[in-house]
Every structure is written in structure tokens, then in C-alpha cells.
Amino acid sequence: MIVIIDYGMGNLGSIQNIVKKAGYQSIISNKMEDISNADKLILPGVGNFKEAMINLANLNIINILNKKVLEDKTPILGICLGMQLMTSFSEEGNVDGLNWIKGKTTKFKFSNQPEIKIPHMGWNEINQSKNHKFNADFETPSRFYFVHSYFVTCDESNDILHQTDYHGNFTSAFNKENIFGVQYHPEKSHVFGLKLMKNFIELC
């Protein structure tokens, strides 16, 4: 069972649609029973980091997520804000995250180059930092759709899966054991996003 976690801050329908296009069924839920029974988890997200952490706490699902991810080793895919929530800390609200990946979420800063637009928005290429079945049969180059003002910096370089250049490289995907995060939006990335979703569901 694939569970898309609903904590009030995600484009849930679009995620469910791409899972369906990949050939699988999913449910959207924040119930502890559904999360507990999941074979795969997806943590989407659009919006404010601090508000997202408050919502997860108010739903009382952080403990069951920790158990599923850290103890049961259930594969989980974080998308955009969902990826950022997996880090230790965010500058957005100066608040702790789930701390599944050692690293922090930081705002793009181009104070000496005011012409550079924030958020980083639109199509951009990814560069694979390590071989992994998550990347199986990716086209070269692979392009994904981004919309974000904050990005992740990993403390451990081995966790970096993809990097993307936006006036300097940043981590656009990470992986540690069963934990996967992507800064881009696979649900908006056409054939590239569909391939990624199929890889996560079938291989990871």
C-alpha cells in the first residue's frame, strides 16, 4: 500500500495522479493506522517549513513516521518541502526538522546579484552524484521542474544523490538507505517524473 501523507500542505491530487500513471494505486491519509500499514510512503509539501512541522505535530504522526522510517525501514519519498522536512533544521522559521538526514535547509542568497530570481522556478537539469537504482534508465540529460526558495545542504556527502546548478550547485536529491528526497516536482516533470516515480515504487 502506497500512502501519500496529508498534513495540509501538499498538492496531493497531483501526486496521486502520477502514482496512478506509473501503474499503481495509492491513498491520501494522515491516519496512524494507514501509515503503519504502508509499504511505501510519500511526503509531499508546498509552503512554510515551520507551519509544516506544527501540522505534523498537531496530527500526532511524527512518532509513527519515525518508527516506519527509522525502525521499519519503510521506503519514503519526500518531495520539495517534504524533502526539506527530513533535514535537521531550517532557516525558514528557525525550527528543527525530522532529522532523518543530517543537514539543514537554507534560503538562496544572491545579495550581490539582485538580478537572480528567487524562487528558483522552471526546468533544470540534474546531475547524478552517485549510482543508485533510483536513477535506473534515466535519460541523459534528465530535466525536472523546480519551484523553491530554500535548498538542502547535506552534512554527509554520500547522502547526495543529485545536484543541480542554479548559480552554483545545490543538492536536488538525497538518499540514505530507505530515505529519498527530491527538491524538484516529479508530478510536474512529465516523462522524467514518471520514470522517477516508477523507480521509487518498483526498485527502492
Q: Apex CA 124: angle with CA 119 and CA 126, to 5°?
A: 120
**Given the residues 120, 148, 162, 185, the one annotated as active site:** 185
Is 204 tagged catalytic? no
Is 185 tagged catalytic? yes
Is 154 tagged catalytic? no
**Given the residues 92, 120, 162, 187, the one annotated as active site:** 187
**Given the residues 80, 120, 148, 154, the one annotated as active site:** 80
Indicate which residues carry an active-site annotation: 80, 185, 187
